[in-house]
Amino acid sequence: MTASQIETAKGKIEYSLLGEGKPILFVHGGHVNCRETIFQKGLDPDKFCFITPSRPGYGNTPLTDLNKTPEGTADLFIALLDELKLSKAIVIGVSAGGLTALEIAANYPDRVESLVLMSALTKKFFAETDKFYMGGKKFFAPKMERFTWLLYRLFFKLFPKVMTKIMFKELSKYRPVEFTEEEFKELKQMTLNMRSGYGFDNDLDQTINQRILSRVECPTLILHSENDNAVDNSHPQNAKNNIKGSKLATFNNHWGHLLWLGTDYDPILNELKQQIE
């Protein structure tokens, strides 16, 4: 995936662009950037134009005082749409990108055709006393994350099945731990390019005012796994309870947080297509 950089009214941003047709603005989750394409799985680039910016701190989008909050990132992404001469887009918020997606929908209602939240945060990720918060701050700190991912990739190369099972348990409550060769290949492709930069460290501190959710007026679809072990089910329920007219669809998929892996994705994709096509 080829990436470009552009200077906007709200600062510099890196992004990728693919396809023609109805614009979809992807707000990616943690540890990836604009080069990740798994979120586009099953969608036709002849029908849609996929716009994927790197969130601040990821890839080559700098993290600044202006864009480190979800609100600031929302302003930056709208500035990108301005530069691309796009008046409106479908917004898909993934995992930690959910907070920014909500800010975009609430603050720029005339720019959002519809909103989709996939495995998405709708409030603060973890409390500062939570062991996952403290572990994330330690192992994915900007000065440490390079070595964390180097070690991960080394162990993945040496012990691929063992590392896949470890990651499976981090992402999914589904048991027993089973996966196909195709799922293994998809996971390997995704994780080999992961980096955290300054982005994930910042993600751990991000939050939004909960009144934001009640200001979202566009058609909203919430897609979440009953087995998600990374973003618990209080997040989609929070969106459902506070976004008027929103639809929540939950799934008993094997991979939990990673809705896109395996044949379990087929019914999820059908729900997504009904919302955006």
- 247, containing H or E segment: strand 247-251
105-to-109, 130, 260 alpha-carbon distances in Å = 5, 29, 24
Report d(CA 89, CA 78) in Å as an integer.
Answer: 10
- Residue of 205, 194, 193 whose CA lies nearest to 63: 205
Catalytic residue among 16, 95, 196, 246: 95
Report d(CA 34, CA 136) in Å as an integer.
Answer: 22
Active site residue 95: yes
Report d(CA 263, CA 243) in Å as an integer.
Answer: 30
Structure tokens at 112: 């959002």
Structure tokens at 113: 């055709």
**Could you list the active site residues?**
95
